[in-house]
Structure 1
């Protein structure tokens, strides 16, 4: 399929004057259109579009909405329905939702209102990580604008449909990005993952049927309703449809957000971003944040869609493309990520709580050039004892960069038996940003 390199839809108005205001955004035409349709028809449109969750897992959004029980005789069918937007963007390297909410909060709020109509919910919560106070304030101001204009609240557009939206500030824990831990936090408890089943679609927030979607997933809904499922499906690939926001960071000349069809390659994105910084060569990169297996320069032409990245042995995840050049120590990099996972482990299960601690101890030895014979095998054994045995995906994610790094750069781990990483890869070489532009 021949497509334009960039497809600005969600990002189209980011450079407009005061783009975050209702005056700049418009009159919620997609919401007006959706309220004139039956809820099941809106769900069908989203299903037909092929929209998949943009938070990491890539589960079909319309299908998730369809899991909500509507028949009172079904389990949970007689309870109120809720929508929860996961805006707890905490994955290292992931930085697409925060700029979206800052530049265009109304596209998210309109998407929330449409989704509430589709799943027959009257209440929605936008759960934002607590550290980004500026984002919380901007969202709250946008919600107030929408209420004042009659786009939220009672009897929206005279349709008889009520939609209330609450912006909730989280308490600053990475684990709350896991959807059931987010629900516990939203209910006022310590953020820890829940045992499933029951699944949130049946017993989620307040033990009632709940849909949990990522910011970008919900923000993509208005354009689908306005332009049609076929329009959205005309972008992307056969199984990964639509446009999405790729976040480029690291040793590139122009880091930032690049909205393009799913299936674009890193080589194409690098061309659009000016390439690697002066004197740099791509050494390794993450396709979807630090919890996805790393890839190398050999994978520059892998289609950046769910199937293509999976076929290369990694995951598309949050599309956080962190690029590292030849000055970066792989051992040091995965150690920093692992320190993060150790710190952010909620402590509920032994494999993650204890396993991440032991991973850090072993990696610290190798970074300092004090590794011992068998440390690499020990790392792989520790990862094997965590993978598939942790209570949630945080434990699995902590192992991915380590096992993939050993696969691609085993020689650097072997060098950790005798030479410190800072001797092989001096800090100042990796942080010198010659030729970088804003």
Structure 2
């Protein structure tokens, strides 16, 4: 198998007729990797995934093989594999299309990963609003059971695995892995204090690994074609293909599979350019919780290192594109209202901070801001960043701090408007 930079890997079955059916999947190399994997040992699989350099596709970019290796070797307690299919990050829309178009690639990845980590029960936690996706995934799991790919003694290997599809109730916080585990256990979704980490005490206090949909769906391809093939795509430290979700002011928004390290300039070419030819103003590389970029970052390589070096994060590669008609303070306010609404309230910096950030931004966008408000916003952001229980707090401050960094004049203009009106009001009062 040679890796042509434009040969689809993760999305290669998406346009096939009835691509979600087991019959289609089996015609297109489906369930060949699982046979290969079950013939080897769990250690061999963990080492293969380590060698491939596959990194978590859920946002943090942690090496998947290293994460798998944290699972204990013994089986004195049950081991669990949990798939984070919550996908609630604004702008992110890669996992749900993947599960809709090719659910069996996720299921095959789950079988291989479960075998590698000596897990006999896998849970797929899907965002509750994605009803069609949940139905399709359930149908695919039923097909896999009927064909002998799930259940007892899979393909005569002696390995048993059950998969449970669990629907969440639409809470952004449940995308955080420990809040997801609390939710799976039937409790309110709130982040846990770490340590202990899930690998030591996760679901039901047993060893657990939580992985993203796209991460696990990549595994069958690595098993079939090898680590060297996977490393031919992407960059040295961020190898492999990636699904970029492009939304906003582009001619053809959608999912674009490219090697990691692709730039926004290249993505815009694929997406037909800026909508109606109106120039680019700002964009996010990985959803609203990653610091925004401007037109000067068009050639930033969108891999884990490139995005970080330019002052943002790759996140979930949710590329939201905004043209010059959009007010930055307005967009930042909208995102902040989302974070205020979705804060679980467990820790004070995030619960109180997002509330005040939203209040100040609403007042500024309404034309009643002062110059001091900008300092207040940055001060509150400083009190949230790194001080909250989970990454929601850090994500909530990203649009504000980056928005003020690149577009401070727009925030000041809201204050100028306020100052210009004050003398008239004072005159009216006298």
What TM-score do the two structures reach when normalised by structure 2?
0.95
Secondary structure of the 2:37 match is helix
**Aligned residue in 2 for 1:430:** none
Query: Structure 1: 5+ residue runs without aligned partners?
Result: 72-76, 421-438
1:373 aligns with 2:371: yes
Q: How big is the shift at 1:373?
A: 3.0
* SS at structure 2 position matched to 1:278: helix
| Pairing partner for 2:282 from 281, 284, 300 | 284
Deviation at 1:311, TM superposition (A): 0.3
2:108 aligns to what? 110
Any idea what SS the aligned residue of 2:415 has? coil
Partner of 2:180: 182
2:395 to 378, 394, 397: 397
Query: Aligned-residue CA RMSD in angstroms?
Result: 1.2
Equivalence map 1:266-415=2 (5 Å): 266-415=264-413
Does residue 1:244 correspond to 2:242, yes or no? yes
TM superposition shift of 1:70: 1.1
- Residue in 1 aligned with 2:24? 24
Structure having the larger proportion of residues in helix: 2
Q: What is the CA-CA distance between 1:5 and the residue it aligns to?
A: 5.2
Equivalents in 2 of 1:405, 1:6: separation in Å? 34
Q: Deviations over 1:331-385 (max 9, x none)?
A: 0001000000000000000000000000001101111111023010010001001
Match of 1:9 in 2: 9
SS in 2 for 1:248: strand
- What's the offset of the Cα at 1:6? 2.8
Cα-to-partner distance string for 1:114-152 (whole Å, 9 max, x where unaligned): 000000000000000111111000000000000000011
Q: Residues of 1 paired with 2:266 and 2:45: CA distance?
A: 34
1:70 paired residue number: 73
For the residue of structure 2 that corresponds to 1:220, the secondary structure is: helix
Give yes or no for contact 1:22–1:106 (8 Å, CA) kept in 2: yes
Note the alpha carbon deviations across 1:2-49, whole angstroms, 9 max, x for none. 985533111111111000000110141100110000010011111100
CA drift at 1:419 = 3.8
Answer yes or no: is the 8 Å Cα contact 2:5–2:233 preserved in 1.
no
Counterpart of 2:238 in 1: which secondary structure?
Answer: coil
Any idea what SS the aligned residue of 1:247 has? strand
User: How many angstroms does 1:418 deviate by?
Assistant: 4.1
- Displacement of 1:251 in angstroms is 0.1
Q: Name the CA distance, whole Å, in 1 between partners of 2:120 and 2:270.
A: 42
What is the match of residue 51 of structure 2?
48
Structure 2 gaps, min length 5? 419-430
1:92-171 superposed matches below 5 A: 92-171=90-169
Q: 1:383 to 1:161 in 2, by over 3 A?
A: same
Q: Does 1:216 align with 2:214?
A: yes
Contact 1:346-1:353 at 8 Å conserved across structures: yes
* Conserved 8 A contact 1:7-1:261: no
The secondary structure found in structure 1 opposite 2:340 is helix
The Cα offsets for residues 87-108 of structure 1, whole Å up to 9 and x where unpaired, read as: 0000000000000000000000
Instruction: Judge conservation of contact 2:3–2:229 (CA < 8 Å) in 1.
Output: no
SS of equivalent residue, structure 2 residue 312: coil
SS at match of 1:416: helix
Q: Deviations over 1:402-433 (max 9, x none)?
A: 0000000000000111449xxxxxxxxxxxxx
TM-score by length of 1: 0.93
Report the secondary structure of 1:390's partner residue: coil
Within 2, Cα distance between the matches of 1:6 and 1:374? 50
- Asked if 1 retains the 8 angstrom alpha-carbon contact of 2:3 and 2:232, the reply is no
